[in-house]
Amino acid sequence: MKQSRLFTKTRREAPADEVSRNAQLLIRAGFVHKEMAGVYAYLPLGLRVVEKIKEITRAEMNVIGGQEIIMTALQKKETWERTNRWDDEMVDVWFKSELKAGGEVGFGWSHEEPIGEMMQNYIASYKDLPVYVYQFQTKLRNELRAKSGIMRGREFVMKDMYSFSLGEEDHTAFYNATIDAYMRVYDRLGIGKDTFVTFASGGAFTQFSHEFQTITDAGEDQIYINREKNIAINEEVLNDETLLKLNVTREELQLVKTAEVGNIFNFGRQKAADIGLTFMNEAGENIPVWMGSYGIGITRVMGVIVEKFSDEKGMVWPESVAPFLIHLVELSNGDTSIKDFADGLYSTLTAKGIEVLYDDRVARAGEKFNDSDLIGLPYRVIVSKKTQEEGKFEVIERRTGEVQYMSEEELYNKFVRSEA
Ligand code: ATP
Ligand code: MG
Task: Taking residues 303-329, report their average pLDDT.
Answer: 98
Q: How far is the CA of 387 from the centre of ligand 1 (A)?
A: 48
Name residues whose C-beta falls within 8 Å of residue 273's C-beta, 6 or more positions apart in sequence: 288
Cβ distance 106 to 95 under 8 Å? yes
- How much is the pLDDT for 207? 86
Task: Taking residues 325-340, report their average pLDDT.
Answer: 96
pTM as predicted: 0.97
Overall residue count recorded for the chain in this entry:
420
Q: How far is the CA of 222 from the centre of ligand 2 (A)?
A: 13
Closest residue CA from atom 18 of ligand 1: 262
Question: Of 256, 246, 258, 179, nearest to 225 (Cα)?
Answer: 256
Q: Residue 293 — very low, low, confident or very high, per pLDDT cuts 50/70/90?
A: very high
Ligand 1 atom with minimal separation from the 153 CA: 28
Q: How far is the CA of 254 from the centre of ligand 1 (A)?
A: 24
H or E segment and range at residue 380: strand 379-383
Closest residue CA from atom 2 of ligand 1: 260
Helix 298-309 vs helix 44-63: crossing angle, to nearest 10: 110
Cβ distance 270 to 204 under 8 Å? yes
130-166 pLDDT per residue, tens: 999 999 999 999 999 999 999 999 999 999 999 999 9
- How much is the pLDDT for 334? 92
The DSSP call for residue 317 is: -
Closest residue CA from atom 22 of ligand 1: 297
Query: What is the residue-averaged pLDDT of the chain?
Result: 96
Ligand nearest to the CA of 158: 1
Q: How far is the CA of 265 from the centre of ligand 1 (A)?
A: 13
pLDDT above 90 for 205: no
Q: Residue 420 — very low, low, confident or very high, per pLDDT cuts 50/70/90?
A: very low
Strands 403-406 and 393-397: antiparallel
Question: Of 80, 83, 77, nearest to 204 (Cα)?
Answer: 83
- Residue 201 CB neighbour total at 10 angstroms: 12
With a Cβ cut-off of 6 Å, ligand 1 is lined by 110, 141, 143, 152-153, 156, 158, 260-263, 295, 297, 299-300
Residue 163 is which amino acid? S
E-state strands within 141-253 = 155-165, 195-201, 208-215, 221-226, 231-234
H or E segment and range at residue 104: strand 104-107
Q: Residue 202 — very low, low, confident or very high, per pLDDT cuts 50/70/90?
A: confident
Closest residue CA from atom 13 of ligand 1: 295
Ligand 1: residue of 300, 301, 306 to mutate (most ligand atoms within 8 A of CB) is 300
pLDDT above 80 for 392: yes
pLDDT above 70 for 204: no
Q: How far is the CA of 139 from the centre of ligand 1 (A)?
A: 10
Q: How far is the CA of 158 from the centre of ligand 1 (A)?
A: 8
Q: Residue 206 — very low, low, confident or very high, per pLDDT cuts 50/70/90?
A: confident
- How much is the pLDDT for 419? 55
Query: What share of the chain in percent tops pLDDT 70?
Result: 99
Task: Taking residues 9-30, report their average pLDDT.
Answer: 96
Ligand nearest to the CA of 261: 1
pLDDT above 90 for 329: yes
Q: How far is the CA of 259 from the centre of ligand 1 (A)?
A: 9
